[in-house]
Amino acid sequence: MACCGQQRRMYATNPVGGNRAYAATNGTPIFQYVGGTALTVTGSATGRTYQFARPGARVEVDARDQAGVARVPGLRRVS
């Protein structure tokens, strides 16, 4: 079992982990899930999988995928 420091480091290096609670400063779009359970979205341009593990989860999205992700019900861009 990993300690909390290792988990924190994993999420800091994995932007699609769904646990980044801060806005990206490099212009990367961030989407928040406002639905009721969990949601997984596949980017139409990159094929990358974005996992929103729970309501309120925020995930960095590749700029090439943002148009498609923005059309998914329950997701809204926050930065």
pLDDT in tens for each of the 79 residues of the chain? 455 554 444 444 444 444 444 445 578 999 999 999 999 999 999 999 999 999 999 999 999 999 999 999 999 999 9
Please list, residue by residue across 36-56, b when 16 or more beta carbons sit within 10 angstroms of its beta carbon and e when fewer do.
eeebebebeeeeeebebeeee
pTM over 0.85: no
Q: What is the pLDDT of residues 29-39, one digit of tens each?
A: 999 999 999 99
- The confidence score (pLDDT) of residue 64 equals 97
Q: What is the pLDDT of residues 47-57, one digit of tens each?
A: 999 999 999 99
